[in-house]
Amino acid sequence: MSHLRINELTKKFGSTIAVNNFSIDIKKGESVVLLGPSGCGKTTLLKLIAGFTKPDEGLISVENKVISTPYEVLPPDKRQMSMVFQSYAIWPHKTVFENVAYGLTMRNMRKTEIQSRVRDVLELVQLTGFEERYSTQLSGGQQQRVALARAMVVEPSILLLDEPLSNLDANLRVEMREELSALHKRVGITFVYVTHDQAEAMVLAQRIVLMKNGLLVQEGTPKDLYEKPKNSFVASFIGVANIFSGRPESSALDEKNRIRIKTSCGSVQVGRQTQQADLSKDKIFFCVRPEWVEFPSGAFDPNANQFKAKILKRQYYGKTINYEAAIGEQEISIEAKFKHDFPVGAEVTVELPPDRCVCLQEN
Ligand code: ATP
């Protein structure tokens, strides 16, 4: 059953359409990440869900109860939701205990109940023993955990997180995103998480919702978006993509559901997502991920999507070696296993496995 339903939601600021006719159903306990470039409307959508902003069109409901329409918005504190902000927003003059207990004190809860809830939630975020510290005496990661504990202590049914890790340094970010993912699995509440960091989205999301200009471009599991991107925006936003363009050589799929596309490199067989191809078009696009490009060991076989290429750049990473190579005029990135070690200038054979060539819709 849908927990949170967003139905044809639109929010405008003057001539900017921050959220554009946006619809999504989120299941109870699901972890959904809103991902997209700066200005695509992620925070506005989160604020609409939280009840800080009124939509211009559409509605939001939780468990079939409508909570936002253009005419009426249930206030944030009546929504059983908590929000964690990028800036933590914890009070420096209060202790960890006082910060976390604040929401419960406001509800006139009994002292013993408050103590027990705060103790439990601090244990959950691994801050037991820090109760009497002031936030000025905490590291960035610990402050972020206080913000999380404060949001969780009121037992929300939905937790909204707006780039909560963006103020942390790179190592701590990696550590905290794993902790957050583990926390979500332990508590099982619905997470709606905003980020523009695709690696963070891959770790935290059961479902990624990729946005651009206020619109939902594609949603799916991290694997879906990585392996079956809808268009070149998705392919390039989630990881690195070599995008090719060319003309379809026939008007129908072959017996293996592949198409042949005439490109500047020659004829390429494309095997995945061919249902997206409009074979009547003069120009269609496909992509291949850098790690999907192979260096075949046998004799050159042009019928197996093999092409002659020249190594232009080489970056050695130990486990892998990254290359920039040219197949004719087309430059591609390749992430190769360490055993495929070629110098710059080497003439090599590369293979684009047909079922790793993914047909794209036009943007
Ligand atoms: P970022 O990742 O940079 O935080 P975002 O995806 O969260 O970006 P939003 O903050 O939702 O994007 O903004 C979406 C669009 O709406 C932007 O063009 C922004 O300038 C505009 N916008 C947001 N809030 C307001 C406001 N209060 N007044 C006017 N324009 C706004």
Q: Is the CB of 39 under 6 A from ligand 1?
A: yes
What distance in Å separates the CA atoms of residue 120 and residue 110, rounded to the nearest whole number? 16
Q: Is the CB of 42 under 6 A from ligand 1?
A: yes
Protein residue whose Cα sits closest to atom 28 of ligand 1: 13
Work out whether the CA dihedral 293, 299, 302, 303 comes out positive or negative.
negative
Q: Is the CB of 356 under 6 A from ligand 1?
A: no
User: Can you spell out the DSSP letters for 156-171?
Assistant: -SEEEEESTTTTS-HH
The predicted structure's pLDDT at residue 299:
87
Residue 229 and residue 238 in contact, taking contact as beta carbons nearer than 8 Å: yes
Q: Is the CB of 43 under 6 A from ligand 1?
A: yes
**Crossing angle of the two packed helices 170-187 and 140-152, in degrees rounded to 10:** 20
Q: Which residues contact 64 (CB under 8 A, 6 or more apart)?
A: 5
Q: Is the CB of 272 under 6 A from ligand 1?
A: no
Pocket test of ligand 1: the residue of 11, 20, 35, 42 to mutate, having most ligand atoms within 8 Å of its CB, is 42
pLDDT digits (tens, 9 = 90+) for 9-60: 999 999 999 999 999 999 999 999 999 999 999 999 999 999 999 999 999 9
Protein residue whose Cα sits closest to atom 7 of ligand 1: 43
Pocket test of ligand 1: the residue of 10, 16, 53 to mutate, having most ligand atoms within 8 Å of its CB, is 16
User: Can you spell out the DSSP letters for 60-114?
Assistant: EEETTEEEE-SS-B--GGGTTEEEE-TT----TTSBHHHHHHHHHHTTT--HHHH
Indicate if the pLDDT at residue 88 is higher than 90. Answer: no
Q: Which atom of ligand 1 is nearest the CA belonging to 19?
A: 14
Strand, helix or coil for residue 148: helix
Nearest by Cα to 68 from 85, 81, 51, 56: 51
Which of the listed ranges 68-72, 122-126, 201-205 does the model predict with the highest average pLDDT? 68-72
Report CA(191)–ligand 1 centroid distance (Å): 21
Protein residue whose Cα sits closest to atom 14 of ligand 1: 41
Helices (H), 228-332: 232-237
- The amino acid occupying position 257 is N
Protein residue whose Cα sits closest to atom 18 of ligand 1: 39
Q: Is 15 or 164 the better-scoring residue by pLDDT?
A: 15
Mean of pLDDT over the chain: 91
Q: Which atom of ligand 1 is nearest the CA belonging to 14?
A: 29
Q: Which atom of ligand 1 is nearest the CA belonging to 47?
A: 11
DSSP H or E run through 7: strand 2-13
pLDDT digits (tens, 9 = 90+) for 261-314: 999 999 999 998 888 888 888 899 999 999 999 999 988 888 899 999 999 999
Q: Is the CB of 16 under 6 A from ligand 1?
A: yes
Per-residue buried b or exposed e for 87-125, using 16+ beta carbons within 10 Å of the residue's own CB: ebebeeeebbbbbbbbbbeeeeeeeeebeebbeebbebb
Q: Which atom of ligand 1 is nearest the CA belonging to 45?
A: 11
Count the residues in the chain: 363
pLDDT digits (tens, 9 = 90+) for 243-257: 999 999 988 888 888
Q: Which atom of ligand 1 is nearest the CA belonging to 194?
A: 7
Residue 67 and residue 55 in contact, taking contact as beta carbons nearer than 8 Å: no
DSSP state of 54: -
Report CA(43)–ligand 1 centroid distance (Å): 7
Helices (H), 111-259: 111-124, 140-152, 170-187, 198-204, 222-227, 232-237
Indicate if the pLDDT at residue 170 is higher than 90. Answer: no
Question: For a pLDDT cut of 70, what percent of the chain falls above it?
Answer: 100
Indicate if the pLDDT at residue 126 is higher than 90. Answer: no
Report CA(304)–ligand 1 centroid distance (Å): 47
Pocket test of ligand 1: the residue of 12, 17, 43, 198 to mutate, having most ligand atoms within 8 Å of its CB, is 43
Work out whether the CA dihedral 185, 190, 196, 198 comes out positive or negative.
positive
